Structure 1
Amino acid sequence: MVRRQTDTREKLLCTAMELIWQSNYTSVGVNEICKQAGVTKGSFYHYFDTKADLYYAAVLHHWAQIKEDLDRNFDPARSALQQLYGYIDMVVDHARGKDPVAHEGGGRLALGCPVFTSGGQCGCEEDKVQQAAREMAANKIAYETAMVARLKAEGLLNGDPDPDQVGRMLYQYIQGLLIYCRIYNDIDSLLTDLHEGVYRLLDLRAEYRRATDSGSSSAA
């Protein structure tokens, strides 16, 4: 019985995130989430008081999965360059993974972070949605800041960058690029612009800039 309850809650969490990713937070309702998950509204309200409560819990569940990939990529045993290249590949693979055939001619790409986009759509009207967006941003920026600090410490960057600022700018650039590609249903821009933009923001020394290609070799 306990396992069945856990399965029901997880179905709601995963379904909510998937539907919101494909559409947006505002347009996805409780009825649609329950129908897609195959659960009753009574089950929904057993676990969550509101859609915003479900959304916040779904974001925490989503983050737990992402964090495993990030921790593998940013393993201290890996060099700073391996971490950087692996992180870029993670972004590409994550974007492609939502619909691996869409970029070949059919369907809309589910690009962009659902948490980032939902936070922007709802503004200040939904406290839980804003809280989720801020927490997710802080979590990711912490990894990016640590990556910048290590690249700097190993002498791979030009100048004397501030890791906190550059880490924050990396997050802003990547999220903005993903939103751009979602609007235009265009993964090609991600493949061509991600490497160059990240290298420029980091001011990575020229000899360490990996050539842009259409494939990836994710370490995640």
Structure 2
Amino acid sequence: MGRTSDAKERILSAAQTLIELRGYSALGVAEICKAAGVPKGSFYYFFASKEDLALAVIDEHWAVQRGDWERILRSDDPPLQRLRRLFEATQAVQHAGQQSCGTVSGCLFGNLTLEMSNQTEALRVRLQQIFGAQVDLVDEVVTEARERGEVTVADTREAARSVVAQLEGQVLFAKLYNDTGRLDLLWANCLAILGATASAATVSAAGGAAAVTAPGQEAPAR
């Protein structure tokens, strides 16, 4: 039986790290292969192009993140507490990244959207699909919160889109200022976006303190 190679996984891991640190456009295949410790021929065995690799990095990252989002947002906790847990877990990930490398890396999807969405159609479409799936997950929670009388928004889909946009925007600011404290505003802004009732906001705030997860456990990487 032949030896199993982990070359593909090493290329994906190296590419994600380099994209997060430097962006997509500045990277070359040779640099990715050097970081992964594999010959250039191995790259083209697994990936037809750098764009093909970027799509694979996006898909792998989303597979992990989606599992985290679903575990948090589809738990048995009250809906607003679930949203708060998502924000707290996101902040924990960004803080852990800052502690590890000295800078806030931001969201891989957001970074690539800003850099590449007007240049590469395949990446643009894939990123649209991912952000749409995030909105779907948040919409489920907002709809449940409205049915419970905890929020007052008329259009749950648009409210969910605003929540995701706010999350993405605050992560962007955290990266810009290298300050995860920018994410402290997520919860208060979310309550305002959703028109949360005073009683629901109080209850969810009381339950939020125990919701923070340790980095590397349930926290969804962004």
TM category (shorter chain) comes to 0.7 to 0.9
Distance 2:117 2:79 in 1: 36
RMSD of aligned residue pairs (Cα, Å): 2.2
Quote the residue 2:193 is aligned against: 201
Superimposed CA distance per residue, residues 159-207 of structure 1 (whole angstroms, 9 cap, x where no aligned partner): 343111011111111111111111111111212x111111111122223
CA contact (8 A) 1:80 1:154 kept: no
* AA in 1 matched with 2:148: E
Change (3 A) 1:47 1:97: same
Quote the residue 1:8 is aligned against: 7
Quote the residue 2:180 is aligned against: 187
Quote the residue 2:155 is aligned against: 162
Quote the residue 2:99 is aligned against: 100
* AA in 1 matched with 2:164: Y
Give 3-state SS (helix, strand or coil) of 1:77's partner: coil
With a CA cutoff of 8 Å and minimum separation of 6, indicate the structure with the bigger relative contact order: 2
Distance 1:188 1:164 in 2: 28
| Identity of matched residues, % | 23
Quote the residue 1:81 is aligned against: 80
CA contact (8 A) 2:97 2:105 kept: yes
Distance 1:110 1:160 in 2: 33
Gaps of 5+ in 1: none
Residue 174 of structure 1 is aligned with which of 160, 167, 179? 167
Quote the residue 1:50 is aligned against: 49
Residue 125 in 1 paired to residue 124 in 2?
no
Change (3 A) 1:20 1:214: farther
Distance 1:49 1:214 in 2: 47
CA contact (8 A) 2:153 2:194 kept: no
Quote the residue 2:134 is aligned against: 140
Q: Following TM superposition, by how much is the alpha carbon of 1:208 offset from its aligned partner in structure 2, in angstroms?
A: 3.2
Gaps of 5+ in 2: none
Distance 1:54 1:87 in 2: 28
Distance 2:87 2:195 in 1: 15
Distance 2:182 2:38 in 1: 39
Quote the residue 2:109 is aligned against: 115
Change (3 A) 1:189 1:76: closer
Q: Following TM superposition, by how much is the alpha carbon of 1:156 offset from its aligned partner in structure 2, in angstroms?
A: 0.8
* AA in 1 matched with 2:156: P
Change (3 A) 1:160 1:199: closer
Distance 2:38 2:122 in 1: 23
* AA in 2 matched with 1:67: R
Change (3 A) 1:124 1:71: same
Q: Following TM superposition, by how much is the alpha carbon of 1:101 offset from its aligned partner in structure 2, in angstroms?
A: 5.5
Distance 2:209 2:23 in 1: 28
